[in-house]
Amino acid sequence: MQIAKRISKQPIIFKPGVLGVALLLAGGSANAGLLGGLLDTTKDVVEDTTQTVEDTLDAVNVDAKVASVGMDFSGWVTMLDPQGRPLQNPNFLDEPRFNGWRTPVSGSMVLNITNDGLVGKATFGSFKFFFQDASGRDVTFVSAHTLLGVPSDTLLIGNMLFDFGATRGIPVSVVLDVGGLTTALQSTAEGQVLKGLLTAESDNTQTPDPSVDISIGPVLVATTAWNTTDVDTDGDGQPGPLELGDNPSGTTPLIRDMAVDATNGDIGIGGSPMSTLPFQGFSPNFDIEKATVTCVSAILSDCEAGGLSLPKFEMSAQPLEPLVDLLNAE
């Protein structure tokens, strides 16, 4: 499946009327025969040859548009147990806003605006998590509505590998809501700070102390309660099994999480549960609060050094309607 399409496949069209007037003005009626032959030749060329513009915009009669955007972002990681209870990171007990219930993260990402929606990649800076060095790497995003079983065209499926201390390559997948980010990016400029109006699924999560408020407020990119289906890694037609290093690990159909959040009684827990140790069954939530635009280009993938390569996703043969997650329901 092709994830990122070319910006344009339109032929470069010559305008015989304009060309003819120019030639007649230059040479008068003596060039009429030459003009007729040239127009016939031009017609044949246009009909027989399509001059494709790959990874760039045609400079002739094509309005420039944003195709690739680079950003530095900041946000929060919130780890929820299978019942929706947040883990308090002891390395950030002194963080004044959330006191370790949410861990601050930052990084950079590049998003391409394609005919298939947003696609992109990201890197997370390292951070301390339960006294271990942690980081996310090989992060990619694909627009979920290009796959099967998707309820919305504002969703991205994110896949990454999570390193935690000596444990390397924990497969992580998550379904993100980007809202109107695609539209916003089409009119952005370098240096602009982007903020959003989305609500993170974990925004209503409660701590053991009801007086402690850990709501994030409006975010630019929000983790949802949709779960991904594990990628079929052994070709038996069934999801999984996942092992360390498997990436991408999550695909469609999306699964509606029906677990009851023990902290607030809501149906659905933010994030998609991890399938491998040491956090098997736990759901990481990645919520981006704001992003600063560092690169804007009309050339596809131009904001990513070396181009933007994305993993191939296997299309699921499941029905279009999302499945109900009965296994986690209580």
Model confidence over 210-269: pLDDT tens digits? 899 999 999 999 999 999 999 999 988 889 999 999 999 999 888 989 999 999 999 999
**Phi-psi category of residue 223: left, alpha or beta, with phi > 0 → left and psi -120 to 50 → alpha:** beta
DSSP summary character for residue 142: E
* pLDDT computed for residue 117 by the predictor: 81
Are 35 and 95 within one domain?
no
Tell me the whole-structure pTM to 2 decimals.
Answer: 0.76
Backbone angles phi, psi at 3, to 5 degrees: -85, -45
In this structure, the answer to whether residues 46 and 87 fall within a common structural domain is no
Domain contains 111:
yes
Asked whether residue 63 is domain-assigned, the answer is no
- Structural domain total, the chain: 2
Structure letter (DSSP) for residue 221: B
Q: Are residues 81 and 143 in the same domain?
A: yes
pLDDT given at position 312: 67
Domain boundary among 36, 58, 80: 58
Tell me, yes or no, whether 45 and 148 share the same domain.
no
Q: Please give the structure tokens belonging to residue 318.
A: 């499941």
Neighbour-count burial for 18-40, b at 16+ CB within 10 Å, e otherwise: eebeebeeeeeeeeeeebeebbe
Q: Which residues does residue 114 pair with via DSSP β-bridges, in sequence order?
A: 117
Residues of the chain whose pLDDT is less than 70? 1-64, 146-152, 306, 309-330
Domain that holds residue 270: 68-325
Of residues 186, 164, 191, the one with CA closest to residue 68:
186
- Per the CB < 8 A criterion, the answer to whether 247 and 314 are in contact is no
The answer on 305 and 158 residing in a single domain is: yes
Of 58, 81, 98, at which residue does a domain stop?
A: 58
Q: Containing H/E element for 159?
A: strand 155-164
Q: Are 171 and 279 in contact (CB under 8 A)?
A: no
pLDDT at 253: 86
Determine how β-strand 117-124 pairs with β-strand 103-114.
antiparallel
Q: Which residue bears the tokens 């600063």?
A: 292
Q: How far apart are CA 40 and CA 171, in angstroms?
A: 59
Residue 103 lies in a domain: yes
List the one residue out of 71, 68, 56 whose CA is nearest residue 8.
56
Phi, psi (degrees; rounded to nearest 5) at 170: -70, 120
Asked if residue 288 belongs to a domain, the reply is yes
> What pLDDT shows up at residue 313?
60
Structure confidence at residue 145 (pLDDT): 76
**Does 126 fall in a domain?**
yes
HSE of 249 in the Cβ direction (CA atoms, 13 Å)? 25
User: Is 46 found in the same domain as 80?
Assistant: no
Judge if 135 and 47 occupy the same domain: no
Residue 330 domain-assigned (yes or no): no
Given this model, what pLDDT does residue 151 score? 62
Q: Are residues 161 and 135 in the same domain?
A: yes
- 255 phi-psi bin (left φ>0, alpha ψ -120 to 50, beta other): beta
